[in-house]
Amino acid sequence: MSPFRVPGRGRIDPDRPVAFTFDGKRVEGYAGDTVASALLAQGRHLMGRSFKYHRPRGPVTAGSEEPNALIGTRRGPGRFEPNTRATMQEIWPGLAAESQNRFPDLRFDIGAVNDAAHKVLSAGFYYKTFMWPRGFWDKVYEPVIRAAAGLGKAPSERDPDRYAARYLHTDVLVVGGGPAGLAAARVAAEAGQRVTLVDEHAEIGGTLLSEPQARIDGQAAWDWLAAERDALAGLGVRIMTRTTAIGYYHQNMVGLCERLTDHLETLPEDMPRERLWRVRAARVILAQGALEKPLVFHGNDRPGVMLAGSAQTYLNRFGVRVGDRAAVVTSHDSAYHAAFDLHDAGSAISAIVDVRTAPEADLLAEAERRGIAVLAGHSVTGTAGRLRIASVEVAATGGTGPARKIACDALLISGGWTPSLHLFSHTKGSLAWDAERQTFLPDRITEACHIAGAGRGFWGIGAALRDGAAMGAAAVAALGGEAGARDFEVAADRAGSGESRTELPRGRAAGKSRAFVDFQNDVTAKDLRLAVKEGMRSIEHVKRYTTNGMATDQGKMSNINGLNITAEALGRAAPEVGLTTFRPPYTPTTFGAFAGYHRGDHFEVTRKTPIDGWAEENGAVFEPVGQWRRARYFPQGDEDMDAAVSRECRATRASLGIFDASTLGKIEIVGPDAAEFMNRMYTNPWTKLAPGRARYGLLLGDDGFIRDDGVIGRLADDRFHVTTTTGGAARVLNMMEDYLQTEWPDLKVWLTSTTEQWAVIAVNGPNARKLIAPFVEGADLTPEALPHMSVVACRFDGLPCRLFRLSFTGELGFEINVPARHGRAVWEKLMAAGADYDITPYGTETMHVLRAEKGFIIVGQDTDGTVTPYDAGMGWAVGKNKADFVGMRALMRPDLIAAERKHLVGLLTEDGTTKLEEGAQIVLDPDQPRPMTMLGHVTSSYRSDAMGRPIALAVVMGGRDRMGEIVHIPMEGGSVSATITAPSFYDPENERLKL
């Protein structure tokens, strides 16, 4: 056992040694140790280098608020986590930990040259310096200075771990498993509530883990804790350890991050590394205790300087003395107890320096009994020691006597305690200054929550237990239950009191003092004063100018000290200056935890058609369309997209193409008022459309702009089969429901999404009818009986079928709707039967080309939410004698009928070979000065196999009056000229539909 480990002390398991590495060197600790406690047990405080000045640093805390001891942890390839708090990371056999922000090594770091340059690196340095000269940005600032600052390196490999998520509903959520939280949970659970208790540490207990001397109701603290844990479990309380409440959101939703594997030697199969819980609690009890504040003085950041309460934790929870010879400087009683415990465990205490003039008599007596010198009314004016504190310089605050040096290898500091109200702050709950306790306490509560224990300024185990029980009872009462208050008998309690200070009196000029306030961001008291001197008045400005409290610890330790120093510099009282806001997450949280299951194949919902499996097996290249993945093209051999699309287009026009159109939105509109509803929704007239016929429908918004389109078949007088665009299906249904429910609730008509009821197979090409004829029963497929734009209910290969004759390609076309489960089987039968016709499956890219050759628009590609039916050249689709339809009134607004509106036109490049860029702007004169006057832009552009040249659609200002004019499209590599044409290129007379 190392000399700093105290046998029989702490909660580590001395029978289970655990070896890990730090910077490649083997370190031995015990089960129950953190990286920090194991290193401290080796007498080692130096664990990292600071962010800006690369100053050597060691842990100042024993918890999640740690600003200094940030390390990288590794578990094989991909499993690297930077900025891990050494004070929280439990050790396991094989853990590889490494220090950060140093080169070549932790003891000798070249970056420490920044420390010598600290005078130029003061507050606002970036704002002042990086302004000029401009050329320095690329060559000096960015690569050199910025690279020297920073914390851990982000991993570059893929994270092989899994992350999980869960929702949880509970009556009472207790955050914090210390005395207050334990008491609250017990009371609530005994009253029959569903209780969840969370704690960020490996075990519950909080302060009790660091104060085993206390006796609760006659039991030793740890025995009481063990019994209480069993009692809670017996009452069905869900106890979650290694679980951090990271954020408190609206209406009592609390986010929890549960760490499941970071402490394990071997990873159990299927176990996620972390799990994010979204907890909805009827009542929340925040029992997060208080955080100890450091004192601010010159050289307060040397390794070996540590919060007194944390030193006590290392001793009592981990059995580690943080030094052989410790000095103490404090403004609070609690540090005395840390000193006494350390003394009693065998360390020498060289002095207790109390900045207060009159410490409590019983503390002085206890010190005297141990032979510890107490220097009341004294202050620390500096420290010495390069990689570890070696001495502390002390002087009377009156300023008369000379400073004297006291040798030490650890310096315990305490500036009092700050209630941990970060989560409360997330709720926008307000804080009020409590003069007696010298701290901010919760004031206005906005959520259904209670704050218990030290969070309300109740110091000491007894007070926390009693308040916890009271708040537990209050939560029960708020839920309509009954629970009484509870008392606890606590002996050897250490409540104490103290004072809140600004920077301690200095032994040197203010400008020479390097008294750190924010350890993680390297902000000093001088920086804060400089910010005020340079005109910052608001605490929010001071924070941003100096970056005080903006590091990953969000100023857990620095906030109040920063405020006190700023207020002093402003000559105002701290409560008047006010606090900055804490925001989620409480402690840094991995991206993995937030992503949860949503990564890789499960990243987001990917909708797949019944025929998707066939496409995948047959080499389709997919593209996302809305939430769907659709086959884009089916390459053969080493075809690229252009070659495949060209082949697919050619085959479809020459003989037969087959296309999975299942993603098309389908809405069944049924009821006696179905036709009336259709009249009001779509621009077209529907009353006279006979059952069995279909029509192209255009849907506008009430602003007159095109929202969607699709072919609509009338199945019966009271039943329409509406199709929508793939991406528009949900939106269109929502819009229809909106009008139906809120504008025309009297109409007797109902809407049902049938998108997924039907698999839809489109067959197009001169041989389409020949292909399907043998499968169809109960329908006459002759052009006379089933003309273009018609629909018939029949049987297809024995299955119920809605067979549409329509065409989005310009070829003879049918869309076969069969019940979805049969989609793939029917597709495969058609593929087999189509062999005679060289049947060719095609994807969305070919579909786009074929329709563009015909000038059919794609809503959302050729329209952008500012295109009217007239702009698109589709005035023919607008019913002229209708009383109302959505968008009708807007189409009469002057702006929507102006002559200079952009019209949909065709574009053919002059050279006949250049394919225009979609989205490219169109100008009349390519040589005009910039900024050029833009007439419109290219909306669709393809190589057309049928036309033997590229074709494009575009919207051009006054385009229909510019037929034949030459326009210019500036593209990369020069301007391209093109002729404006009608937006229809192939078979404009629709001869090919007359089959």
Partner 1 sequence: MTISPSTLVPGIIAASDAATVTMAEPVARFSLRAHAAERETVGGALGLDLPTQVGHVAGDEIEALCLGPDEWLIVAPEGLAERIARTEIDAAHSLTEITDRELTFRIDGPRATELLTTGWPRDPDSIAPGQGRRTYFDGASVIVWRDGPEEWRMDVWRSFAPHVVSLLATGCAELVAG
Partner 2 sequence: MLLIHCPYCGETLPELEFAYAGEAHVVRPDPSTASDEQWRDFLFIRSNAKGPHAERWRHIHGCGRFFNAVRDTVSDRFLATYPAGTPRPDLSLSEDER
Sign, CA dihedral 818-822-825-827, equals positive
Q: Does 979 bind partner 1 (CB under 8 A)?
A: no
Nearest-approach distance from CB 594 to partner 2, in angstroms = 14
Say how many C-beta atoms besides its own lie within 10 A of residue 303's C-beta.
25
Nearer to partner 2, 618 or 752 (CB): 752
Q: Does 734 bind partner 2 (CB under 8 A)?
A: yes
**β-strand pairing of 305-307 with 410-414:** parallel
Q: In whole angstroms, what is the distance from residue 609 CA to residue 662 CA?
A: 6
Nearer to partner 1, 288 or 726 (CB): 726
* 249, 594, 696, 870: which one binds partner 2 (CB under 8 A): 249
Q: Does 430 bind partner 1 (CB under 8 A)?
A: no
Q: Does 240 bind partner 1 (CB under 8 A)?
A: no
Do residues 343 and 372 make contact, with C-beta atoms less than 8 angstroms apart? yes
* 703, 864, 918, 965: which one binds partner 2 (CB under 8 A): 703
Q: Show Cβ contacts of residue 915 under 8 Å, excluding neighbours closer than 6 positions.
A: 909, 941, 942, 943, 950, 952
Q: In whole angstroms, what is the distance from residue 200 CA to residue 90 CA?
A: 12
Closest-CA residue to 507 (of 298, 809, 766, 216)? 298
**β-strand pairing of 934-944 with 790-796:** unpaired
> Coil, strand, or helix at residue 545?
helix
Do residues 830 and 658 make contact, with C-beta atoms less than 8 angstroms apart? yes
Look up residue 446 and give its DSSP letter: -
Which one of partner 1, partner 2, none is in contact with 893 (Cβ closer than 5 to 8 A by kind)?
partner 2
Among the residue ranges 391-399, 541-549, 709-717, 739-747, the one whose residues contact partner 2 (CB under 8 A): 739-747
Nearer to partner 2, 407 or 890 (CB): 890
Among the residue ranges 96-104, 608-616, 651-659, 909-917, the one whose residues contact partner 1 (CB under 8 A): 608-616
Which one of partner 2, partner 1, none is in contact with 446 (Cβ closer than 5 to 8 A by kind)?
partner 2
Q: Show Cβ contacts of residue 298 under 8 Å, excluding neighbours closer than 6 positions.
A: 380, 381, 382, 383, 506, 507, 508, 512, 513, 514, 515
What per-residue string of b and e applies to 177-215 under the rule 16 or more CB within 10 Å gives b? bbbbbbbbbbbbbbbebbbbbbbbbbbbbbbbbbbbbbb
Q: Show Cβ contacts of residue 93 under 8 Å, excluding neighbours closer than 6 positions.
A: 18, 19, 20, 265
Q: Does 702 bind partner 2 (CB under 8 A)?
A: yes
> Coil, strand, or helix at residue 951?
strand
Q: Does 236 bind partner 1 (CB under 8 A)?
A: no
The number of residues in the chain equals 995
> Coil, strand, or helix at residue 533?
helix
* 357, 538, 581, 741: which one binds partner 2 (CB under 8 A): 741
Q: Show Cβ contacts of residue 315 under 8 Å, excluding neighbours closer than 6 positions.
A: 6, 9, 10, 321, 322, 338, 341, 342, 345
Which one of partner 2, partner 1, none is in contact with 972 (Cβ closer than 5 to 8 A by kind)?
none
Nearer to partner 1, 663 or 981 (CB): 663
Q: Does 987 bind partner 2 (CB under 8 A)?
A: no
Q: Does 890 bind partner 2 (CB under 8 A)?
A: yes
Q: Which residues in 256-295 contact partner 1 (CB under 8 A)?
A: 260, 268-272, 278, 280
* 36, 38, 71, 164: which one binds partner 1 (CB under 8 A): 164
Q: In whole angstroms, what is the distance from residue 371 CA to residue 373 CA?
A: 6
* 107, 250, 386, 405: which one binds partner 2 (CB under 8 A): 250
Nearer to partner 1, 823 or 983 (CB): 823
Site string for partner 1, 796-825 (x = CB under 8 A): -----------------------xxx-xx-
Tokens 């003085």 label which residue? 297
Nearest-approach distance from CB 674 to partner 1, in angstroms = 9
Among the residue ranges 230-238, 312-320, 441-449, 602-610, the one whose residues contact partner 1 (CB under 8 A): 602-610
Nearest-approach distance from CB 674 to partner 2, in angstroms = 18
Among the residue ranges 126-134, 336-344, 459-467, 755-763, the one whose residues contact partner 1 (CB under 8 A): 755-763
Q: Does 405 bind partner 2 (CB under 8 A)?
A: no
* 19, 112, 253, 932: which one binds partner 2 (CB under 8 A): 253
Closest-CA residue to 473 (of 488, 484, 462)? 484
Nearer to partner 2, 116 or 892 (CB): 892
Do residues 720 and 673 make contact, with C-beta atoms less than 8 angstroms apart? no
Q: In whole angstroms, what is the distance from residue 197 CA to residue 172 CA?
A: 8
Nearest-approach distance from CB 800 to partner 1, in angstroms = 9
Closest-CA residue to 18 (of 93, 96, 98)? 93
Cα 345–346–347 angle (5° rounding)?
105
> Coil, strand, or helix at residue 74?
strand
Which one of partner 1, partner 2, none is in contact with 599 (Cβ closer than 5 to 8 A by kind)?
none
* 745, 798, 931, 973: which one binds partner 2 (CB under 8 A): 745
Closest-CA residue to 566 (of 594, 545, 591, 593)? 545
Nearer to partner 1, 436 or 604 (CB): 604
Q: Does 881 bind partner 2 (CB under 8 A)?
A: no
Among the residue ranges 401-409, 603-611, 803-811, 938-946, the one whose residues contact partner 1 (CB under 8 A): 603-611
Summarize as ranges the residues that interact with partner 2 (CB under 8 A).
249-251, 253, 278, 280, 428, 446, 702-703, 734, 737-738, 741-743, 745, 883-884, 888-890, 892-894
Summarize as ranges the residues that interact with partner 1 (CB under 8 A).
162, 164-169, 260, 268-272, 278, 280, 597, 601-602, 604-614, 616, 628, 668, 670-672, 748-750, 752-758, 819-821, 823-824
